[in-house]
Structure formats: structure tokens, C-alpha cells
Amino acid sequence: MSFFRVVLLAGVVFLSWIGVASAESRPNVLLIMADDLGVECLGSYGGTSYPTPNLDALAASGTRFTHAYSTPKCSPSRVNLLTGRYGFRTGEEWGVLPAGEITFGNIVQAAGVKTAVAGKWQMSLLKENPNHPHESGFDAYSLWAWHEGPRYWQPMIWQNGRLLHEEIADRYGPDLYTEFLIDFMREHRDGPFLAYYPMCLTHFPKTDGPYVEPPGPDGKYPTYAEMVAQMDRLIGELVRALEELGLRENTLILFTADNGSPNKVVSVRDGKEVKGGKAKHTNGGTHVPLIASWPGVTPAGAVSEDLIDFSDFLPTFAELFGAKLPADRPIDGRSFALQLKGQAGNPRAWAYTEFEGLGWIRNQGWKLYTDGRFFDMASDPEETSPLDVSGLDGDAAVMHAFLKKELVNLRGE
């Protein structure tokens, strides 16, 4: 297998071949990530509090994953997603993509794929380096950097190196991010392209600090229910745009969320009230939706119980686009490209995440924290009673030993 060089920032890194996709077979990819949205919010996952017709239709047309996990909060999820690497490797500095990290944008761009990102960046302050998204592997961008100004009504948006002003004075930010990506997909309709949409919705607008964010035109969309509705509306616009451009059949749409719903939000799922768990390591904070739809490729109406964590997106994109993985650093993710095609693939045996010095490793039924707590998730999904690990037997003893061994292998601790 041959190697080639990619110049990234100040360094030169060698990349190893992992994909087999030909130029003719490569799809387009639209990756959408909502902000602060647990599984309980979507009808396709049993939620009944908010109508989500466009996302429910997307799930019906493709595969719904029931064991996808993020980190408990937004910034570490974004770094994990972009780099395919866990927090103990990249550090946990808030709102920072560490210098020298390689993103999925970098690797697919090197394979000849056009890339764009729009929405919430939170990987740097763009007023300090407006070129940062380009350096991070995106040919085009339209971004709310972070807390430099509003993200919703009359937003503060950086677009391809410049700060927008009068032209967006009376516009709704989420509409602008969506329009930007539609324009990008139209321009690159001959493909392949990767469009990444880290949405600002459904995060509550800021109500204090150096500035207050108007939620929408004439004060519209201040409630969580209204923001979920706007999120779903915009996803419908993206799907329709792909259809009108004749691109839907060759475009994989992935939808997920960066963490669970806000703590002050109570939703109903399968007839039970569910309190949002953002910032917690529980299911409420880390169990997120993952919907995949690729007409004629992803099985329609399918449900997968395979484990997915946020490190898996980078190697999945590498395989789909015939790109190459960095050979100079560990990549923690495992590709689920074959599962997207309805094949068995090579599912991971455990998922891992960490936040603020605490981590956990888990499979579908058991969960072990780095502080030693161990839970039977089937009988105690709310994690109210950790098991006494000194008296385990049967499946509990077997799974505790397995997860503990895997955690030591991963962390070297």
C-alpha cells in the first residue's frame, strides 16, 4: 500500500490507507448534530412531547441506532467527533480544538472531497483566527464561533474569513446556516461532498452575561418545544433541497446530538416523564439519537443495537470516501460504514466517554466508571444503586472483569 503526505498547519503527517471506495461509488454525506437533544425528544424514539415529522420520516427511511453515546456536554463531544479521539488524548480545554489535531474534514479533503461546516463552531474564537475552520479541513464555512455574540436572531456570523454585518441584520441564524449548506451542496452537486451541520438549535439562548440573545424574530421560538420544531423544520428543508437537486439517492444523511437535553426540560417518552440530563454521565446526558438514511443503501425502517460513540464518525467517513487515517497517532473510533449498508460490519464491544476527569466504559447492558462504580443498566438505567463489586457472580462478574480489562488496556491505568 502506498503512502502520501498531507501538509497540516506546521507539521507533515503520514497517513495510512484504510478505504476501498472508488471515486464512482463515493456518496455525499450530510452530518447534522443538534445541540442539547436527548433521545426522548424524537417521535421515532418513543417521544411524544414534540412533533418531529421530518426526523421521524428520516428514521423511517433508514436505520435508527439505539445505543449511540456522546460526552455529557457540547465542547468535548465536538472534539471527539471531529478527531476520532477520546478526551484523555486531546485534553479537555473548553471550546478548543487542540493545535495539531487532525479532523475528519482534513482527511476527506485530502481525498478530494469538498467540505463545508455551518452552525456552531465552539472550537476557537474566530475573531482571533478567522482561518481556523479552513485549517481544520473545511473549504467553506458559515459559523457562530461561540460566545462572541448572538447565534439566533440578528446573529454574529463569521463566513469564510469575514464577519457578516448589514446583510444579516434582520435574519434568523439557523435559517442562514441552513441556506449556506444548501448553496454549498448546489455548488458541488457533482460531488462528492461532506457537509457538517453542528446546529445551534436546540440550545437555549443566553439570557445573561455580556449580551442577551433574542431567540427569534419578534421574540419567537424562546421555548424548548418551539426550538425543537424549528430544528425539525430546517432538517426538512435540507432533505427537500437534496431531492430538488437530484442528490438524495447518493447522499447519506446522519443525524445525532452533542449531548442530552437541558436539565430544566421534562419530556415524555413511552408514557414516562424524562428529565433532561445534560452535563451528567447518565443516559440522560449521553444517550443520543443516531439516525442514518441513504436511500437504496441503508435499510429502511431498521433498528440497530450496535454500540456507537463519537470517535466512530471519523473512521466511518474515511472508509466511505476512501480516505486515509493518520498513522502518527491513535484513532479510537471504529468504522460503522458497513452497518450503514445493512451489513454486519465489525461492531465495537464497548463505548467510552469522559468529561471533567470522570470517564466510563460500557456495553448495552453494563457500565463501569473510572472511579470504580459499576451498574447493571438493564435493571438500573437511572444508576441509583451501584453494585458491590466485591460480591459479584454470574454475568455481572464476567462483564465487570471484561470492562475493567478493556478500560486498563485503553487508558493504560
pTM, two decimals, is: 0.94
For residue 251, is the peptide bond before it cis, meaning its omega torsion is within 30 degrees of 0? no
Q: pLDDT at position 387, please?
A: 98
**Angle at the Cα of 26 from the Cα atoms of 141 and 334, rounded to 5 degrees:** 80
In whole angstroms, what separates CA 92 from the centre of its chain?
A: 17
What pLDDT shows up at residue 5? Answer: 30
The residue ranges of DSSP E strands in 140-257, in sequence order, are 140-144, 158-159, 162-163, 193-198, 251-257
Q: Which residues of the chain have pLDDT under 50?
A: 1-20, 22-24
CA distance 374 to 200: 34
d(CA 75, CA 145): 12
> Rounded to whole angstroms, how far apart are CA atoms 186 and 235?
16
CA 365 to chain centre: 23
Residue among 195, 172, 201, 184 nearest 52 (CA): 201
Joined grid coordinates for residue 254: 446522519
Residue 194: closest CA among 316, 108, 88, 89: 108
The pLDDT assigned to 3 comes to: 29
Q: What's the confidence (pLDDT) of residue 167?
A: 87
pLDDT by residue (tens digit) across 211-265?
889 999 999 999 999 999 999 999 999 999 999 999 999 999 999 999 999 999 9
pLDDT at residue 11, as a whole number: 35
pLDDT of res. 18: 38
pLDDT score at 13: 34
The residue whose grid cell reads 467553506 is 140
- CA distance linking residue 11 with residue 390, whole number of Å: 49
Q: According to the model, what pLDDT value does residue 165 have?
A: 85
Counted residue by residue, the chain has a size of 413
Using alpha carbons, list the distances in angstroms from residue 64 to 19, 41, 290, 291, 407: 24, 14, 6, 5, 28
H helical segments located in 206-341: 224-244, 283-286, 313-321, 337-340
Q: How far apart are CA 223 and CA 161, in angstroms?
A: 32
Read off the C-alpha cell for 321: 470516501
